[in-house]
Amino acid sequence: MQASPVLVSSDDLYLFNTGQLFRAYRTFGAHPIVFEGSFGVRFVLWAPRAQEVAVIGDFNDWNVTDRSVKLAQIGTTGVWVGFGPGLSEGVHYKYEIVNANGKRQLKSDPFGFQSELRPNTASVVTNLDCYEWQDSEWLDDRSNHPPYEKPMLIYEVHLGSWRMDEPEQFRDYEQLSQELVDYVCSMGYTHIEILPLTEHPLDRSWGYQATGYYAATSRYGPPVGLKKLVDRCHSRGIGVLLDWVCGHFCKDDHGLRLFDGTPLYESSDFRRAEKPLWGTLAFDFSKPQVQSFLLSNALFWMDVYHIDGLRVDAVASMIDLNFDKPESMRALNRFGGTEDVDALQFLRKLNETVFLYYPESLMMAEDSSSYPAVTSPTYLGGLGFNYKWNMGWMNDMLRYMEIDPAERSSHHSLITFSLHYAFSENYVLPLSHDEVVHGKRSMLNKMPGSYQEKFSNLRLFYGYWMTHPGKKLLFMGGEFGQFDEWKDYTGLDWALLQYPLHDSMSRYVGELNKLYLENEALWELDHKQSGFEWIDVNNSAQCMLSFQRNGKSSEYSIVTVCNFSRDTHPIYRIGVSQPGVYRLLLNSDESDYGGSGFELSSTAHTNNVPLHGKPYSIELSVPALSIQIWKFDTA
């Protein structure tokens, strides 16, 4: 069956080959259409060095026969097109390619909208336009209220292991749209962030090594189920973020590697193509067709699945040519430096494109590098993200919290250094999945001391995290003190909630989340220096910290007092800005949260005693390993 070029417009071909076809998924892949009076499926593929291309599948017993769909290349565009009359949604298919070396190979569709359940790897013809969304109110509100001056509590989740009754017995998207969404709402989170949902062959890659960039993984059911999950999140006021991996892809034969027998999606220079740390291949960002593929994919998740934003994975590895590479693979860019200039240009173009169509979206960089201006606009030389994960804060704080309290006084700078740069970017403070796997231990088990002290330290740490400038992200299980590190092949240890300290931790996190949401001072000026001021930053000897968070109105300021030592201070004085009465909002040492129950007054009256550069002061009692959060009482 020879293809007719009119199946694809010349404008689309031009834009694709110049890196400007931002909805390439509408052209490429498998689409049910009516062509010349016949209903069937149009197939469009980029494979410039292929000698022959045909579509085979369950409709012809997976053999190249007269019933195959033969594709024809359109001129010198590198694009192949064909039409299969009589084919329809649900057909399983692959491309059989006679590659540049004359070898026959079977490939899944790079633009396939659905894949078979692993270990099978065929693509499935799927119509994604048949769902009636009910989230118009959410989308309107999202457009009118930018995120910067709003609270953001992100619950990071791996759908497969959030709840699992038996190994590989995953909850499907529709089940999760009830159970997960109800749980997230009950805990007070504003967003969920889902580990990658692009189709991937190996469960234990967690989706970070993908083959099907346009296919929501079939592990959890058909695409319509994911739409229902997102729709229900929106109906309950929950935003949905997706981990997105545009830096590299896996080498499985049916995927993108050597797609037409030559390096197509990857660079022909092995030093640039290989990612030895992960055993994957980097995308070649210099190719305009690869740009069209990836830029379209970013918009695809927002267009088709109403995703509210993307967390872009491994930015540091993208922008450094020599990231974790041996000396033999070191390379320089065309200017003699080690930055990947093409990757930097791609990231800028990515953010410009996304914000052109979705100005209210969230674009977050998971970036461990010190590259500047990640969240500055591209017209000012920045990368154009609107948020960056604060990996420095996370590393410093976890290092500090793992130190025995008796030794913390000499490491005081670890908990204060972040305020030197806290407003240089728009930050998210991540306590993510990466910190609770591969022998790093769970958040609870990182904490030093006795069993009881581990919980005290974790409550203290979470309180400091919640009152520190920056949006918040917590990986699932951290909210109830999962004791073992994350086991991706089983469900979370929900049975721990029958034990008092774990149940108390869950209630504490819920109360902490609620307190955060209800107090503008904890998020309204997150990205401005005026939103934070130290009260006493220098008390390293007693491992004490106190500071004030400010909102737009000084009436709503919050005062936080942290004791990172084992010593209780029955009398402890700090300076405050306003005269009157301060009301205790939260004490992590309350017996209801699993604390000692050391009796505290719920109010503190100011004295005309200047302290810490403030005109007034209040006298408090501060239990060991605890945090207190106070608010000026305007009543």
Q: Which helix (H) or strand (E) holds 41?
A: strand 38-46
d(CA 398, CA 443): 9
- Closest of 566, 561, 632, 635 to residue 600, by C-alpha: 561
CA 439 – CA 303 distance, rounded (Å): 39
Q: Is 266 among the catalytic positions?
A: no
End-to-end CA distance of the chain: 80
User: Which 3 state secondary structure label does DSSP give 365?
Assistant: strand
Catalytic residue among 313, 526, 589, 590: 313
313 is catalytic: yes
What is the Cα–Cα distance from 12 to 22, expressed in whole angstroms?
Answer: 10
Q: CB within 8 A of 538, min separation 6: which ones?
A: none
Region label for 351, one of left (φ > 0), alpha (ψ between -120 and 50) or beta (otherwise): alpha
Cβ-contact 170, 159 below 8 angstroms: yes
Q: Beta 239-244 vs 309-312: how paired, if at all?
A: parallel
Torsion angle of the four alpha carbons 437, 443, 448, 452, in this order, in degrees rounded to the nearest 10: -130
279/44 Cα distance (integer angstroms): 29
User: Pseudo-torsion of CA 437, 442, 446, 452, nearest 10°?
Assistant: -170
DSSP assigned state of 376: S
Q: Does the CA dihedral 123-124-125-127 come out positive or negative?
A: negative
Catalytic residue among 12, 193, 366, 435: 366
Which of 123, 113, 115, 110 is CA-nearest to residue 293? 110
Torsion, Cα of 465, 467, 472, 473 (10° steps): 30
Given a contact cutoff of 8 angstroms between Cβ atoms, the answer to whether 67 and 39 are in contact is no
CA angle 132, 138, 140 (to 5 degrees): 100
Which H/E stretch holds residue 223?
helix 223-235
Q: d(Cα 18, Cα 33) in Å, to the nearest integer?
A: 26
Rounded CA gap, 281 and 295, in Å? 18
Cite the active site residues.
313, 366
